[in-house]
């Protein structure tokens, strides 16, 4: 996780129904707000959320970020007035926002809140990391920790939100 993050803008409005967050960038930081990928927000209470951005569009002075379905609508509603954060220097932007060890024992859930399981083990591969997830029915699935699957990580709540796991399930008959 980057050691330092700076305010790149302020959330001036939210549309939880559309999963949209409108950010007014601070001077000189507009290019740091306009990004697909992951973005951190710091609420007025100091709590931080990491959200996956799946769409960006400009509107006048602001930037509208569309966040993935992995970010609950009630979380989006809490972002009004929050700061959008960026790494302290552009060179830090390639650093991961969490380490593999941070994910150990997280609950894995779908965007609708259904529990997919709990991370029991982690593997650091050449292409990407993998997580072993023990499912509620006692089975296990190995999932890749890739942006196409991992929609959100809330370390404070202990939840990693993922998309459809079906393509990653393997049966003994395969």
* pLDDT string in tens for the chain (174-residue length): 445 778 888 999 999 999 999 999 887 666 666 565 788 899 888 888 888 888 888 887 788 999 888 788 888 999 999 998 877 665 544 445 667 788 888 999 998 889 999 999 998 877 788 899 999 998 888 898 887 788 888 888 899 999 888 877 665 554
Per CATH, which fold does 5-94 belong to?
A: Elongation Factor Tu (Ef-tu); domain 3 (2.40.30)
In contact, 41 and 117? CB cutoff 8 Å: no
Report the predicted TM-score, pTM, of the whole model to 2 decimal places: 0.54
H helices of 23-169, in order, are 30-33, 73-78, 100-103
How far is Cα 112 from Cα 90, in angstroms, rounded to an integer? 34
The CATH homologous superfamily for domain 100-165 is PRC-barrel domain (2.30.30.240)
- The pLDDT value given to residue 116: 92
What DSSP state is assigned to residue 21? E
Q: How far apart are CA 54 and CA 147, in angstroms?
A: 10
Which sequence spans correspond to the domains of the chain? 5-94, 100-165
Neighbours of 89 (CB within 10 A): 10
At 20 the pLDDT is: 93
- Of the CA atoms within 13 Å of residue 127, those in its CB half-sphere come to 6
Residue 2: what pLDDT?
40
């Amino acid at each position: 996780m980057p050691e330092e993050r700076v305010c790149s803008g302020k959330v001036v409005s939210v549309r939880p129904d559309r999963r949209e967050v409108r950010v007014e960038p601070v001077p000189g930081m507009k290019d740091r707000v306009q990004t697909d990928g992951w973005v951190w927000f710091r609420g007025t209470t100091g709590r931080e959320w990491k959200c996956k951005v799946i769409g960006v569009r400009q509107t006048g002075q602001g930037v509208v970020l569309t966040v993935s379905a992995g970010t609950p609508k009630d979380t989006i509603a809490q972002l009004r007035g929050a700061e959008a954060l960026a790494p302290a220097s552009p060179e830090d932007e390639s650093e991961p926002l969490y380490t593999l060890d941070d994910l150990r024992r997280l609950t894995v859930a779908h965007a609708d809140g259904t529990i997919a399981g709990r991370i029991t083990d982690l593997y650091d591969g050449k292409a990407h990391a993998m997580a072993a997830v023990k499912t509620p029915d006692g089975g296990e699935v190995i999932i890749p920790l890739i942006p196409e699957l991992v929609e959100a990580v809330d370390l404070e709540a202990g939840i990693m939100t993922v998309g459809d796991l079906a393509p990653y399930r393997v049966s003994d008959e395969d």
